[in-house]
A and B are shown apart, each in its own frame.
Chain A
Amino acid sequence: MSRPSEADGKNPSPLSRRNFLRGAGGVATGGVLAHGLLAASRANALRGAGEVEELSGEVALALDVNGQVLTVRVEPRTTLLDALRVRCSPPLTGTKLVCDRGQCGSCTVIVDGRPAYACMLLAVDLRGKKIRTIEGLGEPGALSPLQEAFWKHDASMCGFCTPGFVMAIQACLERNPRAGLDEIKEGCAGNTCRCGTQPQIFAAALEAAQASVKGGK
């Protein structure tokens, strides 16, 4: 039995988000740099058009969420997901935390019209962007057409993946309201469902797409 010298416990989580972001400095080109990422990412940031800004500690931030401007206090490292779920008041908990590493799609939101994983975005990078979450789509008694189709086709069992799937497919159908099965599958290819509702999700998404074909949208 060999004794791994690495196993000294000093770095129990070698793939932390911070290390990952440090390695992938490109994410900082939006012009905002979190304190501590500055040195590693300076070169990339300076290549961008925006000015360099240094942030540290808790900062107040205005986020445009579902058409409302919300003021939240975040750390530069706070993800959009934690900003929504933990720091907003009242908290927006419809967007789910499942893997926290961009691997499951459960935290899918729509940023400036494109689907995005809220766990892989820093809240401070979202200033000036339009964020849409599941709370902005429809509500009980007034579901959106896609949500209504999810309900009709039983496309939600435990329901924990559901908001992520709804948002991913919503973004897909906004891109192409007449999307077929292959495009829908691609649109939610990054979303995990463990209960196995995918067949019903496809049926719901296709029905929503068909409805827009009939409606001439």
Chain B
Amino acid sequence: MAARKSRRKEAGDVEAVSELAWPPRGDLAVLNHDLRRVDGPAKISGRARYTHDVRLPGMVYARVLTCPIPRAEVTLDLEPARKIPGVEAVIALAEGGTKWLGQPLAAVAASTPEIAEDGIRAIRVKLEPKPWAVDRAQATAEDAPKVLKDGNLSKENTSGDETEARAALTSADQSVEATYTLPVQHHVCLETHGVVVDYRGGDEATVYCSTQGTFTVPESAARELGLKASQVTTIVEHMGGGFGSKFDLGTEGAAACRLAKALGKPVHLMFSRADEFGAAGNRSGSRQVLHGGASQDGRLVALVGDIEKLGGLQGGSFPGRGPYIYSVEKSFLRVRSVYTNTDVARAMRAPGHPQASFGMESLVDELAYAIGMDPLEFRKKNLKGPVYARQLDAVAREIGWAQHPNKVAPGALKDGMGVGIGFAVSTWGGGGGEGCEVDVRIDRDGGVTASVGTQDLGTGTRTYVAAIVAEELGLPIESVTARIGDSRLGRATPSGGSTTTASLAPAVKDAAYKARTLFAERLSRAMDVPAERLRFSSGRIADERDPKRALSWKQACGELGGDGLSARGTFQPGLSSNGVHGAQAAKVRVDTLTGRVQVLKMAAMQDCGLPLNRMAIRSQIQGGMVQALSYGLLEERVIDSVSGWALNANLEDYKVAHASEIPEMVALIDDEDTRPVIGFSEAAVIPGHGAIANAVYNACGARVRDLPLTPDKVLAALGRVG
């Protein structure tokens, strides 16, 4: 892939010694290898400092009180809390009419976490319940209370021609009409949302924040503190998971700022686990009535879909317009939102896509079996381009589809047990753009530092920042220090939509390239070799025509003045691309007597352009599969519509996948993709649960159209229970 040469002459800049482009993959010494994370030892030894772990002199601990019912008229009496010795400040966050279950009502700051909790329990709360709607049934009932002023349904978005699509359905050889539903899922970041606000009066503050966007915080924190954004520093050394839910300051961060301002002391405020379930966002639920038609020779000829998004007080997510990934000759989709008195849905890893994927992949599977065609072949026939076909073939090989007996119908059971295989595919953008400023410094003592204010969500950002610079300068990764997570460093974009890598990696490359070019120019005089002939590799700088004319890295740096050398890089087009594909397969065993589904193996193939760190990429792919397995088999927010209570706002009753559920997993990187860097992480979470549901059908004939795929639903689908 030829990268475009895009260079301007700047002060201190020199002419390029070679093209600004990623080297051929075979020439890479650091990138495209398995790299251990540079922050691994700190995390694995418990030394990494997260926002939760920040301890400052004079710091107080804050807790939040949340509303236990979906809608109420609220009156607070804060005085009993204020009387508790050790309670330092109590503030109201909402009074009067509340609108959603879990809405923060008040916050207490105290000298210890225990006393802050005492303060929360001491607040007298008068709740006058108002009629609410917490689920689709309540929100769409004839006498439903109005959740929003304009009612409980959004305007419809439509795409395609309904008349044509319905006509195509009528003339299809086979058709399937079914309703697919997906629950509201929680992010379950292990580090709950929160901040430590270090403000002791005066005109500067530091906000430690568990966030996906270092630079999304200063402006809103400054507003709460009465400061300018430039007076607020945000620190995100490490953060314990975000998955789309951690942008900006949030209610909790704003509350901490208010408490810090009132007290003139540092305030530590982290949501409790229960708060987190109610007030830190979720993946919107989905209900999809799909009617699809296929020709006997295996073409998808028609789709009519009626889709509802359940995003609480806001819209929720569903991707794009038209059928999800697959080509359908005639289609019509109607999409609308149903509002409820629950927390606003937030972006969650590939917003809308896992929902759309489950509906479409289930329907496609049902149509394949309806016409008696191998579901793998049916997929390949209806997907555009060669990439999906090769990826599906790869995961089919890995999962053992060729040897599998049930190709066109569910198989025979043995002792009540069935084994099945299912498939699904994914797509994502993952492109990048402007917005990152990276500084690379080379010091006279040989030290190399790459600095940018970006954040590492656990994806390995810090590691590839160091790796790109090491590659460019011909050094081992250990020789480069990556400094990130600090708003005093160069600006960086927030991590959403898998855009970080494709935005940041080019800027890092640009900075490293400029630093190398400048360095070569300086060494050219000292070594009496033209700059363009100097090669940086294996910790040496050598004349490519006469490799004996060389300096070690240390010697070379000794030629620098006391100021060393530094260069700033920005986004350069041509170093990243966009648009990824993935395919996944699942193999399951279903116990038809108990309905229990055990996933035996999952396999994925994913393209991602140039792989920066192969090991971290495989980890991301596996992590996507684990999350999809968890979503497909276990996860669901449950609210009792009558009492309005959250019934599983804890990690015992809201179950995520644990060791015993994790099968053998194989993550394959699609090395036939020769494009430059692309973000892909969201794609990995999209297809797994659909593949599992399809495998369950393939195993035993139980078509479960409602996630999570719990044993009762398997038994119901088999007609064993009513």
Contacts and interface: CB of A to CB of B under 8 A. Distances in A.
* A and B pair up: yes
Nearest to B463: A154
A162 B241 CA distance: 12
Interface string B120-155: 110011110101100000000000010000000000
Interface string B95-124: 000000000000000001110000011001
B49 interface: yes
A154 to B, nearest CB: 5
B37 A151 contact: yes
Contacts of A13: 120-121, 274
Interface stretch (B350-358, B398-406, B563-571, B644-652): B644-652
22 contacts: A7-B68, A9-B125, A9-B127, A12-B66, A86-B55, A94-B47, A96-B190, A101-B651, A104-B651, A134-B45, A135-B45, A140-B42, A147-B45, A158-B191, A158-B458, A160-B50, A160-B191, A160-B240, A162-B46, A191-B659, A194-B187, A194-B188
Contact of A77 (B48, B114, B126): B114
Interface residues of B, number: 80
Interface in B602-653: 615-616, 618-620, 622-627, 642-645, 650-652
Contact of A134 (B46, B129, B657): B46
A97 B622 contact: no
Contact of B622 (A93, A139, A200): A200
Interface string A123-160: 00000000001110111110100010011101111111
A7 B129 contact: yes
A39 to B, nearest CB: 20
A154 B36 contact: yes
Nearest to B143: A1
Given A8-B127, A162-B44, A198 B642 contact: no
B623 A6 contact: no
B554 interface: no
Contact of B36 (A78, A135, A151, A199): A151
A1 B131 CA distance: 6
Contact of A103 (B239, B615, B643, B652): B652
B125 A12 contact: yes
Contact of A185 (B623, B650, B659): B659
A161 interface: yes
A154 B45 contact: no
Contact of B44 (A141, A151, A199): A151
Interface string A149-178: 011101111111111001000000000000
B496 to A, nearest CB: 16
Contacts of A135: 45-47
A141 B651 CA distance: 34
Residue from B41, B50, B131, B272 having most chain A Cβ neighbours under 10 A: B41
Contact of B49 (A4, A93, A163): A93
Given A4-B642, A7-B129, A97 B45 contact: no
Closest 10 A-B residue pairs measured CB to CB? A94-B46, A196-B626, A158-B458, A9-B125, A160-B240, A159-B43, A196-B623, A134-B46, A93-B53, A157-B458
A4 B52 contact: no
Contacts of A156: 37, 40, 43-44
Interface of B: 36-37, 39-50, 52-53, 55, 61, 65-66, 68-69, 72, 112-114, 120-121, 124-127, 129, 131-132, 145, 187-192, 238-241, 243, 272-274, 457-460, 615-616, 618-620, 622-627, 642-645, 650-652, 656-660, 662, 664-665
Contacts of A150: 40, 44
Contacts of A97: 52
Contacts of B458: 157-159, 195
Interface residues of A, number: 75
A133 B46 CA distance: 9
A167 to B, nearest CB: 9
A161 B274 contact: no
A198 B644 contact: no
A196 B622 contact: yes
Contact of B55 (A15, A93, A103, A192): A93
Residue from A139, A141, A156, A158 having most chain B Cβ neighbours under 10 A: A158
Contacts of A198: 626, 657-659, 662
Contacts of B44: 143, 147, 150-151, 155-156, 159, 162-163, 166
Interface of A: 1-4, 6-13, 15-16, 75, 77-78, 82, 85-86, 90-91, 93-101, 103-104, 106, 133-135, 137-141, 143, 147, 150-152, 154-163, 166, 184-186, 188-200, 202
Nearest to B191: A160
A9 to B, nearest CB: 3
A15 B40 CA distance: 37
A189 B660 contact: yes
Contacts of A191: 658-659
A8 B656 CA distance: 31
B212 to A, nearest CB: 11
Nearest to B71: A1
Given A12-B121, A159-B238, A194 B49 contact: no
A161 B458 CA distance: 12
Contacts of B65: 12
Given A7-B127, A9-B68, A151-B44, 4 more contacts: A8-B127, A95-B46, A159-B458, A194-B243
